[in-house]
Structure 1
Amino acid sequence: MLAIKKILCPVDFSEPSLLGLSYSAELARLFEADIEVIYVLPILPPQPIDPQFSFQVPEYEILLHRDAETRLAALVKEKIPEGIKAVPVVGHGSAGKEIVKRAEETKADLIVISSHGHGGWHHLVMGSVAERVIRHSPCPVFVVREARK
C-alpha cells in the first residue's frame, strides 16, 4: 500500500497554484495526510550603497516575509477544508531548490506542484520550477496543469 502522510504543496498565489492546492487537499483527505503549503520568496539582488537612499533591503525583506506569511496563512485557512492539517511555510531563495530542500528536510511523501504551462522563450529563458523539482525531488511529484480551453 502506498503510504502518503506528508504532502508538500508549493504555491505562488497564481490560479494554477491554487488548483494544485485543491488537488493537495483532496489527496490529503483521501490518504489522511498532512499538507505543508510553501511559498518561496525570491532573493532580492544586492543594492548599491547610496547614502541618500534610506530604503534598506534587509528591512524590506522582513516586510515581504511578514506579508507572505499573512497571505499564506489566509490562503490555507480559506482553501483547506476543516479536518485537514495544513501548515503554511515561507521559504527564501530559488523556488526549485527551496522546494526540493524542504521536501528532503520534512521527508515529504509527495509533492503536488502546478505547472503554468509556459513554453517557448519564457521556458528557455526562465526555466521551469516544476521541471527542477521533478528532476531533483527525493519523492514522487504530482504535476497539476489547468485543462486546455
Structure 2
Amino acid sequence: MFEKILYPTDFSECAKKALEYVKKLREAGAKEVFLLHVIDEAEIRFLLKGIAWAGGGTGYEERYKDKILEEAIDKLKVIQKELSSAGLKVKAEIKEGVPPKEIVKIAEEENVSLIVMGTHGRGRGASLLLGSVAENVIRHSSKPVFVIKG
C-alpha cells in the first residue's frame, strides 16, 4: 500500500520520533524511503543579516552555508544507515528553499505513496497546532501525510 515513503527531516526530536514510524512501516510493506532535508532559505537569510549587522567578515555567507550543508550530510548519512539496517532502500537529498514547497514538490516528482513527518504541536489554531511546515504540506500535497506529534 505505502511502498515508497517520503521522510522529510529537520533533525529535531519530533523528526526522530517520526523516523521510528517510518521504520515500523517496513512491516506494513514499505520498501523505499526518500530521505529529505530542506535548508530553509529564509532562516539562512535571517541569520546572515544578523551576522552582517554584528560585523561579520566577507565570505562568511559561503562558509556558513558550507558548514550547514556539511552538518546536514553527516546527519543524513546516519539516518540513511539506520533505515538501510531496517531493510529499506534509501535515497537521500538536500534541497535549499521553502521547506513545505520543497517537500510537496519532491513528493510529486518521486511519486511517493506517503509522506511521514514530525511536527511541533503547540498552541491554538491549525498552524500552531500542527506546526506551519506540516500544515502547509497537508494543505498542498496530493499525497497522504502521516504526521507524528512530538
TM-score by length of 1: 0.80
Question: In structure 1, how many angstroms separate the alpha carbons of the residues matched to 2:121 and 2:68?
Answer: 27
How many residues in Structure 1 have an aligned counterpart in Structure 2?
Answer: 140
DSSP-derived class of the 2:100 partner? helix
- Aligned-pair RMSD on alpha carbons? 2.5
> Counterpart amino acid of 1:36?
F
* Residue aligning to 2:16: 18
> Counterpart amino acid of 2:108?
E
Structure 1: runs of 5 or more not aligned: none
Flag the structure with higher helix content: 2
Query: Is 1:97 the equivalent of 2:95?
Result: no
DSSP-derived class of the 2:57 partner? coil
* Residue aligning to 1:143: 147
> Counterpart amino acid of 1:142?
F
* Residue aligning to 2:57: 53
Superposition misfits of 4+ residues, deviation over 6 angstroms = none
- Does the 8 Å contact 1:4/1:109 carry over to 2? yes
- Does the 8 Å contact 2:80/2:90 carry over to 1? yes
Which deviations, in whole Å up to 9, do the C-alpha atoms of 1:87-117 show, x marking residues without a partner? 2221211111111111011111110111210
DSSP-derived class of the 1:88 partner? strand
Q: Percent identity?
A: 36
- Does the 8 Å contact 2:6/2:107 carry over to 1? yes
- Does the 8 Å contact 2:5/2:115 carry over to 1? yes
| Aligned counterpart in structure 2 of residue 37 of structure 1, from 35, 38, 44 | 35
DSSP-derived class of the 2:2 partner? coil
